[in-house]
Amino acid sequence: MFSNSKFIFWGIFETMIRPAVPGDAAASIPLLFLAMREVAVKLTGLDNPRLSMPIFEALFRRPGNQYSYENTLLYEDAEGIGGLIIAYDGGRLDELRKPVLDFIEQSLSYRFQPEDETGPGEYYLDSIAVSPASQGKGIGKQLILAAAERGKQLGLDFAGLLVSTENPGAQRLYERLGFGVVKTVPFSGGFYYHLQKVL
C-alpha cells in the first residue's frame, strides 16, 4: 500500500507520482488495460476486454486485492493521469489474488487459475502502463524507480516483473534500469522472462 507521503515525488512543471485513491478508478483502468488486455481476457473469460473493464474498476476501488488502488502509483501532470504502476509484496500473492478470482467468479460464474508470477522476497511490479500521449517522456522509468524504492523501504530483496518473450523493446528498457533475466516462465497462455533487480 502506498500510503507514506515520502512516495509522492514532485518535479518541475508541476508533475508528480502519487498514491492512487478509489476515485482514480475511471481514469486508471483504461491505462491498466494497455498493460494487461490479454491477462484480463484470461481472468474473466470475456473475449472483448472492454466488457471486463467494469470488473477491474470495481476491484480497483476495493482494498485488499492485486488491482486495488492501495497497490497503485500514478503519474499525473497538467494533462491528467499519464501512467500507472501496480506493485506489491510477492509474498502476499495468494492473499491478494484470491479476492480477484472470487469477485470474478461471483460476477461472471467463471474462474481461471493463473500460474504464480511472483513469490516471497520480491516486490512484484505487476502492471506498468503509460498513455500513448505521454510516452517518450521517461514516465515508465520514473514509475518503476518509485515502486522499487517502496519495495526497498519494505525490506524486500528484489524488485521483479514479467515481460513477454516477444517484447524485446520492453526487456531492453528494464535491463537499462538494472533488471536481469532470471528465468523463463509460462503465464496465462504465453511465455515470459522473469526479471529481477536487487534492491
Average pLDDT over residues 174-189: 94
Q: CB under 8 Å to 181, separation ≥6 — which residues?
A: 171, 193, 194, 195
Question: Nearest CA to 76 among 11, 164, 170?
Answer: 11
Give the C-alpha distances (Å, rounded to integers) separating 177 from 26, 141, 194.
Answer: 30, 8, 15
CATH (domain of 12): 3.40.630.30
Number of folded domains in the chain? 1
Amino acid at 74: L
SS3 per-residue string spanning 90-120: HHHHHHHHHHHHHHHHHHHCCCCCCCCCCCC
Domain span including residue 15? 5-198
Confidence of residue 1 (pLDDT cuts 50, 70, 90): low
Report the C-alpha gap between 3 and 70 in whole angstroms.
Answer: 8
Residue 109 has pLDDT above 60, yes or no: yes
Residue 11 has pLDDT above 80, yes or no: no
